[in-house]
Each structure stands twice: as structure tokens, then as C-alpha cells.
């Protein structure tokens, strides 16, 4: 088994083919608990706290998405499936573009190759909205993270229940440091992986939520179309976190995808 870097907190459970789980901005690996409960009898799950998030150290925060991928690479055994959610999906794409030979499949949940809207990319978040989050983060970290959690759960069933559960996960397992939050927003602001997509020749399942207010489903459709072996799956009546709103259904699709 590949060792994890000392600065990264990693939890392993289950047996079978390795499946690496990479969470998104401001969260920690507890966001995958409901999904992991459905998958641990089929896969060896390797859940990672991103640098400065959860119980991972905030030292050596990545300056770009490739630095983040390089920090995560030791957590990815040869032949692993890599599942990335949101910012974790961007990291998964960067991992695949740098070391696709060591990864068997990609699962990209509520992910996009380019988070911010640009002149030639209409599927991103307006830059002013992201800048608003960054400005608020500097004055009230707790409120900013709360609002982002609420935004990503909005549109899904039992959003208020899930919001309380994720707030409890942050309190029990560890919130992201202020520096890690600022660094993560910078990664979301600057990363554009669209030119790399044709070179990522791996089976890839792109999962989106119909009512996602953070990563629009159109970004997922464009991502799946640009990947040479991309498949698109959209969950109706859910937001940015289908692994929270539909863990049983998503697990079934992951098992089906991995067995092809």
C-alpha cells in the first residue's frame, strides 16, 4: 500500500479495488461517510483531508492545482479509481492529466474544468460572486463557510437536515484553516483545465445535480463531452452534493461504472 504524506490525514476502510475520495472546498473527508457506508463492502476506500482541511496540516499549501495533485499523488495506489467532488474533482483531473497510467477510472461529482465564468466559458460561477465570497471570508470566516454550505445543499431534499449534519462534521473532525480557505478560493479562481481534457483517456463518470447552484449541470455536460471516454449522469431534484442527498443511488451507479 502506498504511504500517505505525513501532513495529510487519510482514513482507510473496506476491501477491494482502491477508491480514493477527494472532498471539496471548506469541507473534510466526513462528507463521504454516507456514501462510504454503501461502498465499503466493494472497495478499499481511501478518504483524504485536503491540505489545511479537517485533520490535515496547513503546511505547504498548494499554489496551483498541479501542486495540489502532486501532494495527493502518494495517496493514490496504482490502479485506483479516483473520485473527486467539486474542488476535489479539479484535483482528480489534474492527477489524471499528470499520472493517468496509475489511475484506472475517474468519477467526477459536481465538478468542472473551469470554476469561474470566462469569455469563452459560460458554465462557471460569475467572478463577482466568487470575489464576494473571498471578501467576506476575510471578515467573517464562519458566516462565509455557512453560506457556502447552504448554497451547495440548496435544491436537494432535506437540505436543512444535511446542513446541520455537515456543520457537525466540521465541528467534530475539524474546519479548514483560514489560509487553506483562501488558498482554495484562489485555486478555484485561477484553474482552467479545459485544454487538458482531450488527453485524459480514462473511463470517466461525470455526476451532476439538477439544481446545483455552485457547479451548473451544463459544466458537467461539457466536461463529459470533452473527455474522450466521459459519461454523464444527472440526479434530478438535487444540488451540489449528491453523495449526501442520494448516497444509495450514487453508490449503485459507482459500482456499476467500476464493473464495466
Helix (H, G, I), strand (E, B) or coil at 23: coil
In a domain, 28, yes or no: yes
In a domain, 5, yes or no: no
Identify the pLDDT of residue 79. Answer: 96
pLDDT per residue of the chain (260 residues) written in tens, 0 to 9: 455 556 899 999 999 999 999 999 999 999 999 999 999 999 999 999 999 999 999 988 999 999 999 999 999 999 999 999 999 999 999 999 997 778 999 999 999 999 999 999 999 999 999 999 999 999 999 999 999 999 988 877 788 888 888 998 999 999 999 999 999 999 999 999 999 999 999 999 999 999 999 999 999 999 999 999 999 999 999 999 999 999 999 999 999 999 98
**Which one is catalytic: 123, 212, 245, 246?**
212
pTM of the model: 0.96
In a domain, 82, yes or no: yes
In a domain, 3, yes or no: no
**Which one is catalytic: 26, 56, 86, 111?**
86
In a domain, 178, yes or no: yes
Q: Show the DSSP H helices in the chain as ranges.
A: 33-39, 65-72, 87-99, 127-139, 141-153, 159-173, 178-190, 217-226, 242-245, 247-258
Domain range for residue 42? Answer: 10-258
Inter-axis angle of helices 178-190 and 141-153, nearest 10: 50
Q: Is 154:243 a contact under the CB 8 Å cutoff?
A: no
In a domain, 199, yes or no: yes
Q: Is 35:25 a contact under the CB 8 Å cutoff?
A: no
Q: Name the DSSP letter for residue 69.
A: H
Which CATH number belongs to the domain containing residue 71 in this structure? 3.40.50.1820
Spatial CA neighbour of 16 closest among 58, 48, 44: 44
Identify the pLDDT of residue 1. Answer: 46
Identify the pLDDT of residue 120. Answer: 98
Is residue 173 annotated as part of the catalytic site, yes or no?
no
Is residue 26 annotated as part of the catalytic site, yes or no?
no
What distances in angstroms separate CA 202 from CA 54, 130, 224, one per listed residue? 30, 31, 11
Q: Is 59:33 a contact under the CB 8 Å cutoff?
A: no
Is residue 86 annotated as part of the catalytic site, yes or no?
yes
**Which one is catalytic: 9, 23, 240, 246?**
240
Identify the pLDDT of residue 159. Answer: 87
Spatial CA neighbour of 233 closest among 221, 243, 219, 241: 221
Q: Is 15:39 a contact under the CB 8 Å cutoff?
A: no
Residue 115 burial (CB count, 10 A)? 28
* Count of domains observed in the chain: 1
Identify the pLDDT of residue 5. Answer: 58
Spatial CA neighbour of 126 closest among 40, 33, 196, 188: 188
In a domain, 142, yes or no: yes
In a domain, 4, yes or no: no
Amino acid at each position: 500500500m502506498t504511504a500517505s504524506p505525513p501532513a495529510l490525514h487519510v482514513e482507510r476502510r473496506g476491501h477491494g479495488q482502491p477508491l480514493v475520495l477527494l472532498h471539496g472546498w471548506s469541507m473534510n473527508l466526513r462528507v463521504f461517510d454516507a456514501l462510504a457506508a454503501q461502498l465499503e463492502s466493494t472497495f478499499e476506500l481511501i478518504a483524504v483531508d485536503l491540505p489545511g482541511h479537517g485533520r490535515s496540516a496547513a503546511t505547504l499549501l498548494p499554489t496551483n492545482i498541479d501542486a495540489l495533485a502532486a501532494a495527493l499523488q502518494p495517496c493514490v495506489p496504482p490502479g485506483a479509481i479516483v473520485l473527486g467532488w467539486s474542488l476535489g474533482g479539479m484535483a482528480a483531473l489534474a492527477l489524471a492529466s499528470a499520472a493517468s497510467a496509475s489511475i484506472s477510472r475517474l468519477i467526477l461529482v459536481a465538478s468542472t474544468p473551469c470554476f469561474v465564468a470566462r469569455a469563452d466559458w459560460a458554465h462557471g460561477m460569475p467572478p463577482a460572486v466568487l470575489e464576494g465570497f473571498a471578501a467576506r471570508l476575510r471578515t467573517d470566516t464562519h458566516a462565509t463557510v455557512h453560506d457556502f454550505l447552504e448554497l451547495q445543499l440548496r435544491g436537494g431534499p432535506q437540505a436543512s437536515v444535511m446542513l446541520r449534519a455537515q456543520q457537525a462534521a466540521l465541528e467534530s473532525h475539524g474546519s479548514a484553516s483560514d489560509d487553506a480557505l483562501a488558498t482554495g478560493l484562489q485555486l478555484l479562481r485561477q484553474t482552467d483545465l479545459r485544454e487538458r481534457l482531450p488527453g485524459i483517456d480514462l473511463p470517466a463518470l461525470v455526476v451532476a445535480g439538477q439544481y446545483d447552484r455552485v457547479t451548473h449541470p451544463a459544466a458537467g455536460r461539457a466536461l463529459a463531452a470533452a473527455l474522450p471516454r466521459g459519461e454523464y449522469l444527472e440526479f434530478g431534484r438535487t444540488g451540489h452534493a449528491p453523495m449526501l442527498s442520494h448516497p444509495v443511488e450514487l453508490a449503485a451507479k459507482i459500482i456499476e461504472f467500476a464493473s464495466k
